[in-house]
Amino acid sequence: MTAAFYGQVAVITGGAGGIGIALARQLGAGGASIVLADVDQHALDNAVGGLEKIGIEAQGVICNVADLASTENLASQAFEWRGRVDLLINNAGVSQNKHGKLFDVPMAEVERVFAVNFYGVWHCCRAFLPRMAEQDHPCAIYNVGSENSLFCAVKGSAAYIASKHAVLGMTESLREDVPPHVHVGTIIPGWVSTGLNPEEFLHLGMSADTFASIIVPQIAARERFVVSHAYNAVRMHERTVALDDAFARNAPRHEGDDEHDVRHVIARMRAAARKQD
């Protein structure tokens, strides 16, 4: 992966620590210039300084991704810096602080989690994508989901799990809204030791640097799904096996079963309209 990102500009939200700064080091080692976005000025200054000490060109921008105007300012500053953005990684996220059964979790907590984990990603895509679409070179947006985009990892975390499921669905839809030179994908971490974890559990997760070393080559290869924790496939398959079984028993495949498939119906309608023209 030597110099795989040479001359490119990478923007990373939630970039002052954890996965964000680990990705910055890996991408910078591959030749990228880095724009770090975070809400914490002190942490941001330290992160940028740390990158510069190891020879990585970087700048920091204060950004609250929960606020659309703040993400639009981030996009403006990022494009003004080098006149281009080649990679946007929407990494900023928060954990669910108040756990419990769905009907016991305060709505303020649900809204706080979604404001960053879902709307924060939406805001950044909205702010950056039009400008990235106007560029004349390949570029990419990667949204950071979670193993919780695929299954429920921790009980009592409905707000967090729902927000990460939503990120996956939004990203898959966004893939169809972009021109061919803009790649869109989802990063799906398993348990990584970051500031989102309680301190007593930090030693149990994968280190952020190890995680970054696994996924950055996948980002360079423009994978649709960027993955890291092998056992996540086991948990994911628990759901897909149950779904396959439900369809096999209750809605088995048969000739003509695409009659009500939305995509096939739309395709037939368009084909009929072309014939009339």
Nearest to residue 90, comparing CAs of 197, 7, 163? Answer: 163
Sign of the dihedral through C-alpha 205, 233, 102, 39: positive
**Cα within 13 Å of Cα(269), Cβ side:** 8
Burial letters 221-238, b for 16+ CB under 10 A, else e: eebeebbbbeebeebbee
The answer to whether the CB of 95 falls within 8 A of the CB of 163 is: no
160 included as an active-site residue: yes
Angle at 200 between CA 192 and CA 51, to 5 degrees: 45
Cα dihedral sign, 150-216-143-170: negative
Q: Which of 6, 119, 160, 231 is catalytic?
A: 160
Q: Any idea how long the chain is?
A: 277
Give CA–CA dist 49/27, Å, rounded. Answer: 16
Give the catalytic positions in this structure. Answer: 160
